Structure 1
Amino acid sequence: MSEALINLDDEALAGVAKMLGTTGKEETVNAALRELDQRRRRMEAFDELAKLAEEGVFDDLLDKRNYRA
């Protein structure tokens, strides 16, 4: 973990802490960083799924005859 001395927007920090349910500046900043990283990963995964859908990978799932026995 790295250490940095930065200026923080106290009003924004308080709002984020309330939203995330965190206490303390360090916990809030770290939780916000993790949340944004997870959001980025979810967006990348969604984009990949959309690409696969455009390629027709899931077309068999749309036809109920393919999975009803």
Structure 2
Amino acid sequence: MATNLAVDDNLISEALVIGGCNTKKAAVTEALIEYIQRRKQIQITSLFGTIDYDSDYDYKKNRSRT
């Protein structure tokens, strides 16, 4: 999908250097991947304290060695 973006040239230049990317497309793609991963991590942290667990569960008993 072709998309035209107006992006600050200084930001793109810095991203190319820091990321070691050869093209603007590679820099933008890498930045989007990192952005999405970070947002997913933030969503996961909202689950802390909301999941019930069984205090009688014995994880050592359920280990299997193959």
Superposition TM-score, scaled by structure 1 size = 0.62
Q: Distance in 2 between matches of 1:23 and 1:47?
A: 37
Quick one: percent identity of the two aligned structures? 21
Answer 1 or 2: which has greater helix percent.
1
List aligned pairs for 1:1-69, cutoff 5 A.
2-48=1-47, 50-52=48-50, 57=53, 60=55
Can you give the 5+ residue segments of structure 1 that lack an aligned partner in the other structure? 61-65
Can you give the 5+ residue segments of structure 2 that lack an aligned partner in the other structure? 60-66
The aligned length equals 58
Q: Distance in 1 between matches of 2:8 and 2:22?
A: 15
Stretches of 4+ aligned residues off by more than 4 angstroms: none
